[in-house]
Amino acid sequence: MFLRHVFMLFFHVTLVASEDNSFIYNGFQSSHLYLDGIAELTTNGLLKLTNDTERDKGHGFYPNPIVFKNTSSESVSSFSTTFLFAIIPQYANIGGHGIVFVISPTKGLPDSLPSQYLGLFNDSNSGNSSNHVFGVELDTRQNFEFDDINDNHVGIDINDLKSADSTPAGYYDGYGQFKDLSLSSGYPMQVWIEYDGVKKKIDVTLAPMSVGC
């Protein structure tokens, strides 16, 4: 990735189905996150996923597996999460490629590629339903091979970098007006991801820090 710094400030996950599966990080110092690639924790507890090295990737995974699916009932738990991030490109407006919140069957995605593959898939497994990978991408580049709608969008990735759905990044202000939000502006933003296991519906909300908090 050309991303200079991607920071995550805090991370909050709640699985509605079982109350003991809830955790909050206010800084990642003692989180025991599983890190790979060029990801690192800064001394003040931020998760820094990438640095100035081009075409590289970094992951931070919650250390323990979380059960999302009840094998006897086949239902997937409702869950919600929120986190803060900032994408700070090395040169204004030519950052890339993006970050993804991911749920995967493995801790680490060692065969994934950086750049347009977002550290999620590679050129042979993208689109394969055996991946069992779900992601919410915050993508700052338009890649036509993945049918990207523009160079600043939020997408739902189900086993595939061709998003099942995507929308330009933005938020609704207090008057109900849609405002564009540049993901790689360098400013902190907050994301909420909420899945309703009964309705099988995912909602993703984005807001600049000044609106979100």
Ligand X SMILES: *[C@@H]1O[C@H](CO)[C@@H](O)[C@H](O)[C@H]1NC(C)=O
Residue 181: name the closest of 193, 167, 192 by CA.
167
Q: By CB under 6 A, is residue 73 in contact with ligand X?
A: yes
Contact call for residue 72 and ligand X (CB under 6 A): yes
Q: Which candidate, 45, 40, 44, places its Cα nearest to that of 5?
A: 40
Is 115 near ligand X (CB under 6 A)?
Answer: no
3-class DSSP state of 145:
helix
| One residue of 53, 90, 142, 143 binding ligand X per CB under 6 A | 53
What whole-number distance in Å separates Cα of residue 23 and Cα of residue 107?
A: 18
User: Using CA atoms, how far apart are residues 201 and 71, in angstroms rounded to an integer?
Assistant: 20
Distance CA 101, CA 79 (A): 13
Q: State both tokens at 156.
A: 């739902």
x-or-dash string of contact with ligand X, 141-180, rule CB under 6 A: ----------------------------------------
Return the range that interacts with ligand X (CB under 6 A); candidates 6-14, 85-93, 124-132, 203-211.
Answer: 124-132
Residue nearest to ligand X (CB): 111
Nearer to ligand X, 51 or 142 (CB): 51
| Nearer CB in complex with ligand X: 197/208 | 197
